[in-house]
Amino acid sequence: MQVGWLEVTVATLFLTLVLGAIWTRGRNWLDPEFWKRYAIIGSSVMFIALIILTFDTLSKTKIGSERVPSPTVINYKIDYKYDPEKGYYRPVIGPEKELLFGKEYTEEEAMALITKGKLVIQSRACMDCHTLLGNGAYYAPDLTKSWLDPKWEKIMVPATQSKTKEEAMVKFLMYPDKYATWTRRMPNLDLDEEEAKAVVAFLKWMATINTNGFPDHFGESKLVKF
């Protein structure tokens, strides 16, 4: 049997109600002891449910799983398409290759690169201006699918006189103050080239995570036309 959200919800509520009723049998509901027992039962049932769900979630979100793909996806072309069966937008990986910085990365190299990228992102407190997977601050754009942002190719490649999208991204990350496109400029956070490349790889990898359709219809804008 496939266990979904409804089964979990009904089961936890049912268990709380029944176990609580058994433990408080014969007690007046105005007696604090009645509520104490219900509080212990309710909290325990919910916490145990959370632990079980945590194990399940962690097993489904390992790097290399269907939802959180292997870092070698940075060797492939990435897209974001509506999945009519799921009812939401999903990343599409490959099948054609699209190398990053003209190089094919092995599993190990790719892993080292995104690990470095994540460290750089944390060390510069990116989350205190941007959001990643929608979490962070609201002073700058969300980066969840930033790799797929049309602005890189349409504006930043010519602006930085680059040949490829990733080259433009590296230049922008190293000198954001120089290539600003708006009065609210990103500060120069002193990234060296190695760090900037790692961040680009991380962003490409992050765009392949199945985020249940967030952000909806990314890149299909009726507001902005290039």
Using CB under 8 A as the binding rule, the residues of this chain from 29 to 68 that contact another protein are 30-32, 35-36, 38-39, 42-43, 46-47, 49-50, 53-54, 56-58, 60-63, 67-68
Q: How far apart are CA 225 and CA 155, in angstroms?
A: 12
Sequence-ordered list of residues with C-beta below 8 angstroms from that of 75, at least 6 positions apart, any chain? 97, 98, 99, 100, 104, 105, 110
Q: How far apart are CA 13 and CA 189, in angstroms?
A: 49
**To the nearest whole angstrom, how small is the minimum distance from the Cβ of residue 159 to another protein?**
13
**To the nearest whole angstrom, how small is the minimum distance from the Cβ of residue 96 to another protein?**
23
Q: How far apart are CA 60 and CA 67, in angstroms?
A: 7
CA-to-CA dists, residue 14 to 46, 49, 119, angstroms: 11, 13, 44
Site residues for another protein, 77-106, by CB under 8 A, read: none
| Among positions 125, 158, 163, 193, the unique one binding another protein when judged by CB under 8 A | 125
Site residues for another protein, 194-213, by CB under 8 A, read: 195, 198, 202, 206, 209-213
By CB under 8 A, tell whether 15 contacts another protein: no
**To the nearest whole angstrom, how small is the minimum distance from the Cβ of residue 224 to another protein?**
4
Site residues for another protein, 136-175, by CB under 8 A, read: 136-142, 144-146, 149-151, 155
By CB under 8 A, tell whether 4 contacts another protein: yes
Whether residue 138 contacts residue 149, with contact meaning beta carbons closer than 8 Å, is answered with no
